Amino acid sequence: MKDIIFQQCRHHFNDIVAIRRDIHQYPELGFDVHRTAGIAADALDALGIPVKTGIGRTGVVGDLEVPGASKRIALRADMDALPIQEMTDVPYKSKIDGKAHLCGHDAHTAMLIGTARILSELRSNLKTHVRFIFQPSEEALPGGAPAMIADGALEDVDEIYGIHVFPLYAVGEYATCTGPMLAQSDTFQITLTGRGGHAAFPHLTIDPIVIGAQFVTALQSIISRNVNPLDSAVVSVTQLHGGDANLQEGLAGAALNVIPPNVLIGGTVRTLQKSVQQRVRKQIKRLIAGFSNANEATYTFDYQDGYPVTYNHEPCVKTALAAAGELVEEDSLIFPVSPILGGEDFGYYSQEIPACFVMVGAGNEEKGIVNMCHHPQFDIDETCMIYGMTLFVSLATL
C-alpha cells in the first residue's frame, strides 16, 4: 500500500504545487478567505464529494463516504494568511502588500485538496469515512475552530488529525508526542500612566518609561522564581511604546526632551498547564500593581486567554505513528518530540474529541529553507507536501 500511496501523491504533486502557489500569491486574512474557500469547495465538488460551505462563517466541509465503514475521521487544514510583508524573491511571491502566507497554510490547503483526490481514487481501500475540514482564521483570536465546531464540523466524527509544515525539521521527517503538543497562547496589554514633563526636570514627573523598563526586566523573574523548573512557561514582551515617535520613521522629529505620560506594554504568555497559566497571570498583575503603587503611577491590565493547549490523545498518536511508520524509516519519526510553545486553534478540536497534531518536516538547508514560520522570508521545500499528503492518506487506509 505504501508504494501505491506514494505513486498517487507523486502523480498529483505538480498540480498540488500549482494550487499552493496560486493560493500563496493571493493571501487572505482571518475569516475573509472567500477565494481560498472557493478553491477548496470547487475541488471537492469536482470529485463528487458533497460540500458544505459557510461553515464557521467561511469554512468548507466535505464528507467522503465509504461503504461499510463504521468510523469517521476528520482531516483539517487552515486557510488564512498573516498580515506580514513577504520578503522572499520567489516567482510565486504574494501579490498583495502587507499580506502573505508565511505560516504554510497555503500548503496545508493544497495538501488536503490533494488528499481528497487520492482518497477518492483509493476509496475501495479505505477503512473509514473521511471528513475534510478547511478552516478560516487560525491566526487571529478568537480563531476559526470554535465557529466551525459550533456549526457542526465535528458532528459524527470519532477522531481528528491535523498537520503543520515545520522548517526546523527536514523534509521526510514527522514529529509528534502524546499529551500537550502545543501551548495555550495568551496575550496581555498594559497601559502604564505616570506624569509627563520636561526631561530636564525628571523629579517633577512620574516617569512611566523608567517604571516600564523595571517591570519588563522583573517580568522574567515570574518564570524563574514562580514556576516549577520542570514545568514549561514563557512570558515575552513584544511591544513597548512611549513618546511620540513614528515607528516607521524612527526618531526623526520626535520630542527627545519630553518625558511622556504613558507607556504601552504588550506581550504573550505560553503555558502547557492551566494551573501554571493562572499563576503566571496572577503574578503579572501583582508585579505591575507593585511597580505602579511604589512609583505613584496607575495602570490598566488586560489579559486575554488564547487558544487552549493542543492535546494529543494516545490512541490517535498510536494511529498517526503507525501511519507514518508505513511511509518512512524509524529515524525519520521524531517521537516523542518536546512540546512546542507555539499556539494553534486546533487545540479547540482536541478539547472536544480524540485528536493528534503532527509536524511535517519542510526544511532544506541546502536550499536555504531554514526560516521559521512567521519569518518574512519563510518558505517550504515543496517536496514536503508529498509527505503531508501521504500521511493523511495513510491515516484513512489503516
Q: Where are the beta strands (DSSP E) in 115-158?
A: 129-135
Q: How far does the chain reach from its first CA to its final CA, in angstroms?
A: 10
- Which residue, among 55, 47, 5, has the nearest Cα to 31 in the 3D structure? 55
**Cα separation, 16 vs 199, whole angstroms:** 60
- Which residues lie closer than 8 Å to 330 by C-beta, 6 or more apart? none
Residue 365 a catalytic site member:
no
**Cα separation, 372 vs 383, whole angstroms:** 17
Q: What amino acid is encoded at 341 in this protein?
A: L
From 28, 80, 86, 381, active-site residue? 80
- The SS3 call for residue 225 is helix
CB of 163 within 8 A of CB of 358?
A: yes
From 63, 86, 138, 139, active-site residue? 138
| Burial status of residue 238 (CB atoms within 10 A of its CB: 0-12, 13-18, 19 or more) | exposed
CB of 384 within 8 A of CB of 392?
A: no
Q: Where are the beta strands (DSSP E) in 272-381?
A: 298-307, 310-312, 333-334, 355-363
Return the C-alpha cell found at 128: 473509514
Residue 244 a catalytic site member:
no
**Cα separation, 160 vs 327, whole angstroms:** 20
Active site members: 80, 138
